[in-house]
Amino acid sequence: MFIKPLAALIAASVMLAPMSAGANTANPKPAASAKASKPAAKASAKSTKVAAPKEAAEVELAHGLDEAAALALQALVDDFNAGGKAKQKIVLSTRNWEDADAAVPTLPAMLVLDDGARQRFLDGKPRYTPLHQVMTIAKEKFAHAAIPAPMPPYLNGAKGRLNALPIGLTTPVMFYNRDAFSRVGLDPNVPPTHWFSLQEALGTLRDGGYACPYTSARPTQIHVDNISAWHNEPFARKQGKTGEALAINGLVQVKHLAMMSSWYKSRYLHIFGRADEAVPMFAGGQCQVLTARSSAWPQIKRDAKFDIGVAALPFHEDIRNAPRHTLADGASLWVSAGRGAEETRTIARFVTFLLDPDRQAQWSLATGFIPLNRAGMVAISPVDAPTADSVARVALRQLAGRAGAKDEQTSHAASNPRVRAVLDEELEELWADRKPAKAVLDTAVLRAGPCVTSINSSC
């Protein structure tokens, strides 16, 4: 995926070095040194006053986005810079901001962070200025629509105000091969809505000669985190005033993973890795149904040689009051602490620029990320981009579903990389048929316990 755009950065502030009045040593005049001391002191004081740090001419935005998103972000940055709405230019960077030996050891002004990088950035002493503060300081209206789902705790500050802008907002949906459905007698206009009806469809695809009826990207996030939220089950429960305890080994989660295990054994389900390895298997036509982040759409659109359908994540119809809502996730834009006044104004104007409805539509069409406001959603023309429109609308409907129990809505533990690693490892035990579903989840709860209660992600 992944050619990243290159950008140059002039990150260091320019300092004016004070010049001594006695700098010329070719003909020293000791006798005049006492008299020269006073003007030198004045010059030094004057130089000190003039030498206040100047703000950089460019504002660095570091990211680790894939090729499609990186190109889309570069296009937006170019438009912003060309508009002349700020004195400073924004430049993109792909440097490793965590590298202490880097040529520019300071943090970039803005960072787009996802998953582990975000958690490492947030560990320890705060290194960011909350976005709502940036917008207030710069006197920019923060006219974003309320995001239609409970956001992860790291994004929500005091009173629910955003710490960062979730520019990579995504949630899992179901993609399917409409052509394959038609070939085996399934109605491509009526995709399965329940896991049991999907099982019947997968059986039909299997009988029709398709070796990989179904695959899933990010198995733990979809089949543990989102299945829990979709059925109003908590990922973790509050324990004491600030603690949490994993609660992923309930009846609903055990039942669902037991079903997935049976599908895996019968070759209805194929798992290709912990992340998005399943996406190219679907886009390439090897597998016929895929559950993945909605942001997988641009890659699927680019590579697929068949008619693509999109539908909501299936749910278990025998679970009371299901479905509820899926979870919002993805990359977010953070502002590092210590920005100067002009930098702050530039950053705030850039955020306002990003939230323009036409920019939101442009970003969503190029990346598959969900627009952050209703106007951005409306700006995606169903005539010009029917499937992209469908992906975004399906994702928004899921996120906007019905609110669930308070414990179910958000969890600090869910974003802890060590908890995620434990879940990945235990789920692989399920696929290898070394443990049944309940043992997998019980073991995950036991192993991840210290990580859930630890403040640091490296528990």
pLDDT in tens, 327-370: 988 999 999 999 999 999 999 999 999 999 899 988 988 898 98
Complete DSSP assignment for 331-400 = -EEEEBS---HHHHHHHHHHHHHHTSHHHHHHHHHHH-PPPSSHHHHHTS-TTT-HHHHHHHHHHHHHHH
- What pLDDT shows up at residue 433? 97
Q: Where in the chain is the domain with CATH 3.40.190.10?
A: 58-169+329-400, 172-326+416-453
Q: What's the rounded Cα separation, in Å, for the pair 10 and 417?
A: 33
The dihedral through the CA atoms of 107, 113, 116, 118 has a sign that is: positive
CA distance 153 to 209: 45
- Could you tell me if 261 and 436 are in contact, meaning their C-beta atoms sit under 8 angstroms apart? yes
C-beta of residue 175 within 8 angstroms of C-beta of residue 282 = yes
CA distance 342 to 213: 55
CB atoms within 10 A of CB 47: 14
Non-local (6+) Cβ contacts of 383 within 8 A are: none
pLDDT 10s digits, 440-453: 999 999 999 888 76
**Omega before 323 cis (within 30°)?**
yes
- Quote the CA–CA distance of 437 and 415 in Å, as a whole number: 22
Structure token pair of residue 179: 């052509």
* Nearest-angstrom CA–CA distance, 326 and 370: 13
Residue type, 394: V
pLDDT of residue 222: 98
Q: Are 342 and 55 in contact (CB under 8 A)?
A: yes
pLDDT at residue 144 in the model: 52
**Three-state DSSP class for residue 48:** helix
Contact indicator for 162, 184 with CB cutoff of 8 Å: no
Dihedral pair phi/psi, residue 172, rounded to 5°: -75, 140
Return d(Cα 323, Cα 328) in angstroms, integer.
Answer: 15
Query: Which strand (E) or helix (H) includes residue 113?
Result: strand 110-113
Beta-carbon count within 10 A of 443 CB: 16
Residue 72 contacts residue 362 (beta carbons within 8 Å): yes
d(CA 405, CA 386): 34
Give every residue of the chain whose pLDDT is below 50, as ranges: 1-53, 407-408
Task: Report if pTM > 0.85.
Answer: no
Parallel, antiparallel, or unpaired: how do β-strands 287-293 and 212-216 relate? parallel
Element (H, E) at 173: strand 172-177
For residue 44, the model assigns a pLDDT of 41
Give the HSE-up count for residue 71: Cα atoms under 13 Å, Cβ half-sphere: 9
Class of the 172-326+416-453 domain?
A: alpha beta
For residue 328, the 8-state DSSP code is -
**Residue 441 — φ and ψ, nearest 5°?**
-75, -40
Domain 58-169+329-400 annotated CATH 3.30.1330.60: no
HSE of 324, CA atoms in CB hemisphere, 13 A: 23
